[in-house]
Amino acid sequence: MIENQSDNIDIKENDVSNQDNVPEDTSSAEDKIIENDKLSSQKTEEINTEELKNTISNNDARLEQLEKEHETLKNQYVRISADFDNFRKRQSRDQDDLKVQLVSKTLTAVLPIVDNFERARQQLKPESEEAQALHRSYQGLYKQLVEVLKQQGVAPMRVVGQQFDPNLHEAVLREPSEEFEEDLIIEELQRGYHLEGKVLRHALVKVSIGPGKQNSQEEVEKDTVEESIDSEENTSEDV
Distances (CA, A) of 101 to 14, 96, 104, 171, 195: 128, 9, 5, 25, 11
- From 193, 44, 31, select the one nearest 108 (Cα to Cα): 193
The amino acid present at 153, given as its one-letter code, is G
Whether 93 is in a domain gets the answer no
Whether 150 is in a domain gets the answer no
What band does 239 get if pLDDT is binned at 50, 70 and 90?
A: very low
Express each pLDDT in 120-140 by its tens digit: 877 777 777 777 787 788 888
CATH number at residue 179: 2.30.22.10
Counting Cα atoms < 13 Å in the Cβ hemisphere of 42 gives: 6
Instruction: Tell me the C-alpha distance between 50 and 32, whole Å.
Output: 26
Whether 9 is in a domain gets the answer no
In the chain, the number of structural domains is 1
Whether 139 is in a domain gets the answer no
- From 146, 122, 145, select the one nearest 135 (Cα to Cα): 122
Average model confidence (pLDDT) across the chain: 77
Instruction: Tell me the C-alpha distance between 152 and 173, whole Å.
Output: 32
Whether 51 is in a domain gets the answer no
pTM for the whole thing? 0.53
Whether 28 is in a domain gets the answer no
Whether 12 is in a domain gets the answer no
Percent of residues, the chain, with pLDDT higher than 90: 23
What band does 30 get if pLDDT is binned at 50, 70 and 90?
A: low
Instruction: Tell me the C-alpha distance between 6 and 12, whole Å.
Output: 10
Whether 186 is in a domain gets the answer yes
Express each pLDDT in 41-84 by its tens digit: 767 777 777 778 788 888 888 888 888 888 999 899 999 999 99
Give the domain extent around 175.
Answer: 155-239
Mean pLDDT of 109-127: 83
Q: Any idea how long the chain is?
A: 239
